[in-house]
Structure 1
Amino acid sequence: MMSKASSWLPLFFLFAHLFHASHADLGTASQYSPPYTPTACFGSDATQFPSSNYFAAAGEGIWDNGAACGRQYLISCINSVLPQACKHGETIQIKIVDRARNSVSRPIREGTTMVLSNAALAAIAVPHAPSLNIDFRQV
């Protein structure tokens, strides 16, 4: 004979599995174009760029008084003002190499969470997308 507590236990695990807590944040992203001459994090050291060319400048929301330098994030595109711009199911890892406010090359859209390199944006969305809503998580 099942107790009342054990009768709802399978239902609890089903809901826990379906509605698990997310460990990611939501934000926005735009892109900036070469020349990539970051100065806020590592000076002009070319070795700071990941070989994938997936990097970004941090917006003020994640800048954290410079602590963002070198942080790596997994990001994916959720949606955009441009219909069907996202490459759903694509997730990439980027490295923060600069501060968006100080970048020599200006972002397409000011005030975003991250300003992605051309290669990073093209990996998760169509290259001409003006801005994206993103899911991001520090790794």
Structure 2
Amino acid sequence: MATMAVKFHYSITMALTVTTSCLINSTYFLQAQAQTDGTATYYTPPYTPSACYGYEDQGVMIAAASDAIWNNGAACGQSYAVTCTSGTNEGTPHPCWGSSTLTVKIVDHCPSGCRGTIDLSQEAFASIADPNSGVINISYQTYV
């Protein structure tokens, strides 16, 4: 019985150590990613086809990457944490909904002449800012 208790204690200790290690490492990794400033716009449905997934539906928390982050398609499938930081001189002066951050998946390439660094789906944009603003200043980083 004592051997069983020791094995159980060892198993719990190892599980907690591994979990703690993973949490610390993932937190460090997320913090190690630099935030970049840019702008965000939005586009409206339909969201298919897309440059990354064709006619496969990827939901609505999605975005199109501008040339700044497209990297010849390497951005496909990448997730980005996007935070509204302020309005631009276009549209609503205070468009941000608090300090909301959302995570979006890159599913498309923003067409030439794209006005934003990241072109969010209408639903994603509306979750962090007033859509009437049209363009917002953001900070963003790769989310792993």
* TM surpasses 0.5: yes
For structure 1, the residue ranges without an aligned partner over 5 or more in a row are 1-20, 103-108
Asked if the contact 2:85–2:99 (Cα under 8 Å) also holds between the matched residues in 1, the reply is: no
Which deviations, in whole Å up to 9, do the C-alpha atoms of 1:42-72 show, x marking residues without a partner? Answer: 11112xx14xx21100111000000000000
CA gap 1:22/1:57 in 2 versus in 1, 3 angstroms: closer
What is the rounded CA distance, in whole Å, between the counterparts of 1:110 and 1:101 in structure 2? 6
Which deviations, in whole Å up to 9, do the C-alpha atoms of 1:47-105 show, x marking residues without a partner? Answer: xx14xx21100111000000000000001101113211011210110000000117xxx
TM-score (norm 1): 0.72
Aligned to 2:48: 37
Asked if the contact 2:102–2:128 (Cα under 8 Å) also holds between the matched residues in 1, the reply is: yes
Asked if the contact 1:79–1:134 (Cα under 8 Å) also holds between the matched residues in 2, the reply is: yes
Shift of 1:129: 1.5
Asked if the contact 1:78–1:132 (Cα under 8 Å) also holds between the matched residues in 2, the reply is: yes
CA RMSD of the aligned region, Å?
2.1
> Of the two, which has the highest radius of gyration?
2
The question of 1:128 aligning with 2:132 is answered yes
Aligned to 1:69: 76
Alignment size in residue pairs: 110
Structure 2: which amino acid aligns with 1:27?
G
TM-score (norm 2): 0.70
Structure 1: which amino acid aligns with 2:111?
R
Identity %, equivalent residues: 39
Asked if the contact 1:38–1:97 (Cα under 8 Å) also holds between the matched residues in 2, the reply is: no
Structure showing the higher helix proportion among its residues: 2
Aligned to 2:97: 87
Runs of 4+ residues over 6 Å off in structure 1:
none
Counterparts of 1:13-24 in structure 2, within 5 Å, are: 23-24=34-35
Aligned to 1:100: 110
